[in-house]
């Protein structure tokens, strides 16, 4: 498998990274997100203002052997030739 870049460290992005890591521990994964922390929506709803269960994305990524870039993506310009 080639290198993988995941944009967004929300529930879908983190779950995707976990599934890929379970299947292939050798591929390089880069995770990009504008936030430093992830707080599950269920936690926000059940305990507004309680940040004790937030996940520090950088530490989470290091434990999964994933490179984390704390930045935002302005636009994506895919080249069709990269997909064939």
Looking at the 3D structure of the chain, how many domains does it have?
1
pLDDT number for residue 58: 97
CA separation (Å) from 37 to 25, 62, 71?
A: 24, 14, 12
Q: For 12-37, what is each residue's pLDDT tens digit?
A: 999 999 999 999 888 999 999 999 99
CATH at 43: 3.50.50.60
Residues β-bridged to residue 8:
none
**Is 59 part of a structural domain of the chain?**
yes
In a domain? residue 84: no
Could you tell me if residue 16 is inside a domain?
A: yes
- Residues 51-74: what's their mean pLDDT? 92
Q: Which domain holds residue 52?
A: 4-74
Residue 1 scores a pLDDT above 60: no
- What confidence score (pLDDT) does residue 68 get? 97
> What does the pLDDT read at residue 83?
60
Residue 32 near residue 57, CB atoms below 8 Å: no
Q: Tokens 């993506």 belong to which residue?
A: 73
Dist. CA 53–CA 55, nearest whole Å: 6
With respect to residue 82, please indicate whether it lies within any of the assigned structural domains: no
Residue 81 lies in a domain: no
Residue found under tokens 């926000």: 44
What mean pLDDT value characterizes the chain? 87
Residue bearing tokens 């922390």:
37
Residue 84 confidence (pLDDT) above 70: no
- Tell me which DSSP letter residue 34 carries: S
């Amino acid at each position: 498998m080639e290198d993988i870049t995941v944009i967004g460290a929300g529930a879908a992005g983190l779950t995707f990274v976990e599934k890929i890591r379970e299947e292939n521990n050798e591929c390089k994964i880069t995770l990009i997100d504008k936030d430093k922390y992830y707080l599950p929506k269920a936690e926000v709803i059940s305990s507004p203002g309680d940040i004790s269960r937030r996940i520090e994305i950088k530490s989470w990524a290091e434990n999964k052997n994933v490179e984390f870039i704390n930045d935002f993506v302005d636009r994506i310009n895919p080249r069709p030739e990269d997909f064939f």
